[in-house]
């Protein structure tokens, strides 16, 4: 039983047992208040989670080198990188979970995964395999860490909704058909680490309007910019050495700005680079050609 006692002034106070009871009651009230607040709190959406991790501007750098991966899907759910590797999630969303590891995204891993809408690739991933995201028709945004060094052939082929992608500064070449048929892609920033743009990399990117090339670019391969109908001008660095046959075949370029001199331009290896390219002007550092 609880006892009432008096202090030396005759004032009543309660024993320690009553103090414990009061503490329990106060704790319960605090828990109830916390529950009500949490109940009324709007939880962040999957897209907001991604935006919290990264700056979404085109070609942006990753905010934190230790940021974990995150993928979102058309039903609004999101999966961490660890969850992406679970077979049951692969079956649910239509991708091959066994081809996803802490360091790589394997060949055809997300091929035809039409439920994938956005992905932040985990820091530590070094390789994105052949056709890894091929025909992901609803994939809109891809953010990759600078740990990625290998982007293999056709990795984002037929990603027709892709509008926002950052390329790792660890990449030195853009492989064959990397962004072929990415019809929604409007802008692209290629980091200065890249020295080669391979065959068909941007072919049929009909809405590509603006591209910033690497200042160390040396090679643009066969039909790399084929039928880029909205690309009206391009700036080539003085480092360029080779423009392969049909580099800008059936493109719409009217103005090509070359950072070198006219003599340097004339000395380039560029046989039939302008196949089916009409009415253009080359602007060199010392005049037009």
Judge whether residue 45 has pLDDT over 60.
no
Residue 180: per-residue pLDDT: 98
Picking from 57-71, 192-206, 260-274, which range would have the lowest pLDDT averaged per residue? 57-71
Cβ within 8 Å of residue 161, ≥6 positions away: 137, 138, 139, 140, 184
What pLDDT, in 10s, does the model give residues 92-119?
999 999 999 999 999 999 999 999 999 9
CA 167, 168, 173, 177 dihedral sign is negative
Q: What is the mean pLDDT of the chain?
A: 85
Secondary structure (3-state) at 4? strand
Q: How far apart are CA 166 and CA 60, in angstroms?
A: 6
Per-residue pLDDT at 7: 46
* E strands, 159-280, in order: 164-165, 173-174, 187-189, 196-197, 210-212, 219-220, 233-236, 242-243, 255-258
3-state SS record for 108-168: CCCCCCCCEEEEECCCCCCEECCCCCCCCCCCCEEECCCCCCEECCCCCCCCCCCCEECCC
Bridge partners (DSSP) listed for residue 5: 13
147 vs 144: CA distance, rounded Å: 8
Quote the tokens at residue 147.
């740990």
Q: What is the pTM of this model?
A: 0.78
Q: What is the pLDDT of residue 66?
A: 53
pLDDT in tens, 70-98: 999 999 999 999 999 999 999 999 999 99
Q: How many helices (H) and strands (E) does the chain have?
A: 5, 20
The conformation of residue 97, written as its DSSP 8-state character, comes to G
C-alpha gyration radius of the chain: 29
Q: Distance between CA 250 and CA 232 in Å, rounded?
A: 12
Distance of CA 60 to the CA centre of its chain: 9
Task: Kindly report which listed range (9-23, 72-86, 226-240, 253-267) carries the lowest average pLDDT score.
Answer: 9-23
């Amino acid at each position: 039983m609880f006892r009432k006692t008096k202090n030396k002034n005759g004032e009543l106070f309660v024993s320690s047992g009553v103090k414990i009871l009061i503490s329990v009651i106060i704790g319960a009230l605090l828990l109830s208040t916390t529950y009500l607040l949490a109940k009324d709190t709007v939880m962040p959406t999957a897209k907001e989670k991604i935006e919290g991790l990264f700056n979404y501007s085109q070609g942006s750098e990753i905010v934190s080198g230790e940021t974990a991966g995150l993928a979102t899907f058309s039903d609004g759910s999101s999966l961490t990188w660890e969850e992406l590797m679970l077979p049951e999630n692969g079956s649910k969303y239509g991708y091959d979970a066994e081809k996803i590891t802490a360091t790589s995204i394997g060949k055809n891993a997300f091929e035809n995964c039409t439920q994938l809408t956005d992905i932040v690739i985990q820091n530590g991933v070094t390789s994105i395999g052949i056709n890894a995201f091929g025909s992901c028709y609803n994939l809109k945004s891809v953010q990759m860490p600078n740990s990625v060094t290998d982007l293999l052939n056709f990795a984002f082929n037929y990603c027709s909704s892709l509008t926002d992608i950052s390329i790792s500064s660890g990449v030195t070449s853009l492989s064959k058909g990397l962004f072929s048929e990415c019809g929604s892609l409007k802008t692209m920033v290629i980091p200065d680490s890249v020295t080669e743009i391979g065959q068909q990399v941007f072919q049929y990117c009909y809405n590509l309007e603006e591209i910033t090339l690497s200042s160390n670019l040396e090679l643009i391969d066969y039909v790399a910019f084929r039928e880029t109908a909205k690309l009206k001008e391009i700036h080539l660095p003085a480092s360029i050495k080779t423009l392969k046959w049909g580099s800008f075949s059936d493109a719409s370029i009217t103005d090509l700005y070359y950072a070198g001199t006219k003599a340097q331009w004339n000395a380039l290896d560029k046989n039939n680079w302008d196949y089916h390219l009409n009415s253009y002007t080359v602007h060199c550092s010392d005049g037009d050609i």
